[in-house]
Chains A and B, each alone.
Chain A
């Protein structure tokens, strides 16, 4: 009887360290739904109990039901049947059914549509837990943003028709955006949306690389304004799976085999407009993508956690040179580095989710006519900053967590050596599953482009100042000094790129964003080291069943923060120096240095 929630001390700690009651208050709008729905809590304490109970159940399901199926899912994959329908891997079909029975397919949907109305933060934790059991299942469990997009932007009739079905797990969805010639650049979408004489909408064209394109409810980005190129010619439509939607091809992929990736042909498919015309890409898809990016960050955390545990176990049990390999400096350093980066990533992901929850909550208050004008005004004021911080942290989380999980999965294979390269251990699957995370929902390079604007545009400066002004324990004073020094390095680099122009900013975007993330994570870890949460965590020893020795979590977090910040300080200086080097060889000497395009094969 395992439990992927209870067995994770860091998640347990963060659930107490972060003020979930505040998020519950936002979600429940001051607990006004109590009594009207069985799922609605009467107060913050009850809400937090609910979060804990549901994550506990999901943790058990993930450990005992889903994880044992993951190898089978990877080997079997999805199948395109002759009649054009897609059959999920058995383990995926069974797990989806179990998730539906567990009432967890409407995590963030409002009570009135049968959802749990949980904050994004708890959903992020849930996605990590499920992904640790099977990364590819996350692509179905983690698609709840589709229902959320319907909830945010569709009219009431569409909401009433579809949202309860999503919440009950009766239907799954797909976000149908990518086309053969429109990948990262979605403005180039061509799939046509047109109206008949009665004003009914239809879709015609091809979409590619569609995760769960075989789902029952599809949100399709299409060109509704034939004369208008670019993003403003695109609208978002909802259609159902049917005879006019054909899965033409199922991709044969490196990893996440349980998640079917489809090529779809729409042959004059009847559909309905979501929200308003022309806002498809610029408003709705952007919102959908932001949610999905946090989802991928959480999926990355799950993969990293699963890989780390394999590495940690092997480093302890594999004996070479007369002892466990964890006694060797290179191996133990890899193990600690993985653990440190995982906890840094989780800190960033949870903070991002928390900020997004504030954004959602404040938006609701600002748009609610029953709120007092003062409350609305205050919410609007706070929203201005929060939105900018959320727009920066979201791509940062996606970038950091996805790159991190690739490093962790890679190093796990390294710790296991030859055994890790074999299919006998799950780490080779995890490394394959990890690889997509830096690519889909926007590549790392695009996340950097999005984040660097926040780093150079003032949002980061303001946010870092807020973090620096929080109360911390005396034990982290020297670390805060290091972070303040790093912040000065960042400002210096930002000032330099502002002079050098936008192209130069994008050229050194990675270094700028890396510095900013190292600083933000540093502050978050200092916050954790200063936590008032009383929690004892076990420490390792040589016996297999544990000596029962424990340390306070805050003490452990202090060590972690110290290691993370002191090891990053020289890197920050180096990155800043690199940015300020003024090296433009990438622009000027590409043709010479890269040489002519080679012939392939």
Chain B
């Protein structure tokens, strides 16, 4: 049988390229100072979905929720082989915490009725690893977190290997299922040249509206129609399309309240020289374990 996969992806600030301006004075992330990228483990999830499609057939749809700029990772998904992409963008989504986000995403996933939902283990900006599991709960489907490999997909049964740190577990469950994928699962492919050339022009309506604000000669309806004919109009959903209950969305749907943000500045106080002997190194390691630097 073939499998329909939905991949949940997030555009995140590239936290590996932290510079001096990465944080605002109030301790929040200065998103403008960091390049926006495809959350790395979501790329692993996309790769796993594409491999399922290559092996068994079916299709891969990528969903992201975010600002219009997040359409970029949807184009990135198209370049790599996604069949369809959807941007969920709506001002009423603003300030959603992981619970509200999970609710909104689950509404979107339900509309697509997939066999397998895949997402990265966690996003590199918040590092919560909550959204995937919460979406599974909202959908009422089983979840396999920390997935490293799909061992077998047989009819409506999946067996997967999950990484548990110092070892692994093999688990089996019925479809539909939600998988959260770790970075050791695979090496994500790069964009395919021909798809790059085709889908570089893919846009969603809100992007064209923004272009029309800069250049009034752009006829939004005409451009959208033209793109749609070429299969280049990115689907765009808002909360009304999803039929979402607004009390579970945005700030109202978010029980997480930020109590305080503390800016921790690490400074060097002293340096120590360690003799390159077995004893001295053991003593150093012991000291680091005692003060919880390692271990």
Binding site for B on A (CB under 8 A): 1, 38-39, 41, 49-50, 53-54, 57-58, 60-61, 65, 98, 101-104, 116
Flag if A57 contacts B193 (CB, 8 Å). Answer: yes
Contact check: which of B16, B192, B196, B197 meets A101 at CB < 8 Å? B192
**Which residues from chain B sit less than 8 Å from chain A, CB to CB?**
16, 79, 187, 189-198, 200
Measured CA separation A39–B194 after assembly (Å): 6
Cα(A180)–Cα(B198), bound, Å: 48
Complex contact A116–B198 (CB within 8 A): no
**Is there an interface contact between B198 and A39, defined as CB atoms closer than 8 Å?**
yes
Residues of A within 8 A of B191 (CB): 53, 57, 102
- The residue on B at minimum CB distance from A103 is B193
Could you jot down 29 A-B contacts, CB within 8 Å? Answer: A38-B197, A38-B198, A39-B194, A39-B198, A41-B197, A49-B200, A50-B196, A53-B193, A53-B196, A54-B197, A57-B190, A57-B191, A57-B196, A58-B190, A61-B190, A65-B187, A65-B190, A98-B190, A101-B190, A101-B192, A102-B189, A102-B191, A102-B193, A103-B192, A103-B193, A103-B194, A103-B195, A116-B193, A116-B197
In the complex, what's the smallest C-beta–C-beta distance from B105 to chain A, in angstroms? 26
Tally of A-B Cβ pairs under 8 angstroms: 50
Interface of B is mostly: helix
Interface SS of A by simple majority: helix
Most chain B Cβ neighbours within 10 Å, of A53, A60, A116 = A53
**In the complex, what distance in Å separates the CA atom of A104 from the CA atom of B187?**
18
Q: Closest approach, in angstroms, between the C-beta of B83 and any C-beta of chain A? A: 15
CA distance A57 to B187 in the complex (A): 14
- A403 vs B31: C-alpha distance in the bound complex, in angstroms? 48
- A39–B195 Cα distance when bound, in Å, is 8
Chain B contacts for A104, CB-based, 8 A: 193
Contacts of A103 in B (CB 8 A): 192-195
- A156 and B200 CA atoms in complex are apart in Å by 32
B155 → A minimal CB distance (Å): 28
Question: Could you say which of B187, B190, B198 contacts A102, with CB atoms under 8 Å apart?
Answer: B190
Distance from A394 Cβ to chain B, minimum over Cβ atoms (Å) = 26
Q: In the complex, what distance in Å separates the CA atom of A102 from the CA atom of B79?
A: 10
Contacts of A58 in B (CB 8 A): 190
Q: Name the distance in Å between A6's Cβ and chain B's nearest Cβ.
A: 12
Interface centre among A57, A58, A65 (most CB of B within 10 A): A57
Q: Report B-chain residues with C-beta under 8 Å of the C-beta of A41.
A: 197
Task: For the complex of A and B, list the 8 residue pairs with the smallest distance between their C-beta atoms, beginning with the closest.
Answer: A103-B193, A38-B198, A103-B192, A54-B193, A61-B190, A57-B191, A103-B194, A53-B196
- CB closest residue in chain B, given A167: B194
State which of B79, B187, B194 has its C-beta within 8 Å of the C-beta of A38: B194
Query: Closest Cβ of chain A: how far from B14's Cβ, in Å?
Result: 8
**Cross-chain contact B194 with A60 (CB below 8 angstroms):** no
Contact of A60 among B190, B197, B198, B200 (CB under 8 A): B190
Closest to B195 in A: A103
Known: A49-B200, A53-B200. A116 touches B194 (CB 8 A): yes
| Minimum CB distance partner of A97 in chain B | B189
Minimum C-beta distance from B135 to chain A (A): 27
**Centre residue among A41, A50, A101 by max chain B CB count within 10 A:** A101
* A195 → chain B closest CB, angstroms: 40
| Bound Cα distance from A50 to B134, whole angstroms | 40
Q: Report the Cα distance A102→B194, complex, angstroms.
A: 8
The complex places the Cα of A50 from the Cα of B194 at a distance, in Å, of 9
